[in-house]
Amino acid sequence: MVGRMNDNYLTSAVVFAIALFLFGTALTLAAGMLTASGMFPEFAGRCAERMRRPVRCFFAGVGVVVGVVLFMGLAKNLGELGNLLMLVAGGGAVLAGVAGAAGLVERMAARSGAGVDGWVARRRAATVLALSWVIPVAGGFVLLPACLLMGLGAAVMSVRRGRVAEVPPVPAVLSVPPVPPVPVAEVPGMDPAVVAAVSVGISNGL
């Protein structure tokens, strides 16, 4: 009977429940990234700049996770207060990872082309990223943690504003008023079009 129960454990209901859970998680995280990108555009822009070095962001996120795990291990000995601190630390790390992953959405949207609206490009990028997370095995166990770790590292490195090279202002172009055409004495028998062309040539310095 035990063997029969183990054989029937992976039923269609369980498969659908797992699939719906993955889809719901992916959509929730994608919505969170779009919200962070829309509410904090400057922070998302700094995260996108940090995402130019994804390996560095990944290992920075791993270091933060290690620190959070060590903190949670120490906080669990504090009773109720420790549980609260563990909840805040874990939830804060996840939220920071989602907010930092908005930089990845910004970078993907920037590659969509200049002719695409900004919000449409971000929505497409978040949708593609969310769909990549529901790929069996590789999506939920590789791509999703990697994106969140890169986002966490980018968020931590983007908290403090770095020095941004100031772009020199573009000098204003002097508007030169048009020079009125110089009147040319009409020659009897000359074509009026030729007279007008000569007048324009003199006005242009020819």
And the tokens for 154? 């980018």
* Residue 6: Cβ-neighbour burial (10 angstroms; 0-12, 13-18, 19+): exposed
What is the model's pLDDT at position 198? 53
What is the reported pLDDT for 170?
Answer: 38
Supply the pLDDT for residue 166: 40
Distance from C-alpha of 200 to C-alpha of 206, rounded to nearest angstrom: 9
Question: Which of 12-26, 61-75, 112-126 is the least confident region?
Answer: 112-126
Burial annotation 57-74 (CB, 10 A radius, 16+ → b, else e): bbebbeebbeebeeebee
- Residues 72 and 40: their CA atoms lie apart, in Å, by 29
- Amino acid residing at 75: A
* pLDDT confidence band for 171 (50 / 70 / 90): very low
Does 201 score more than 70 pLDDT? no
Q: How far apart are the first and last CA of the chain?
A: 104
Q: Is the pLDDT of residue 184 over 70?
A: no
Position 140 confidence tier, pLDDT thresholds 50, 70, 90 = confident
Q: Average the pLDDT over 90-119 and give the result.
A: 85
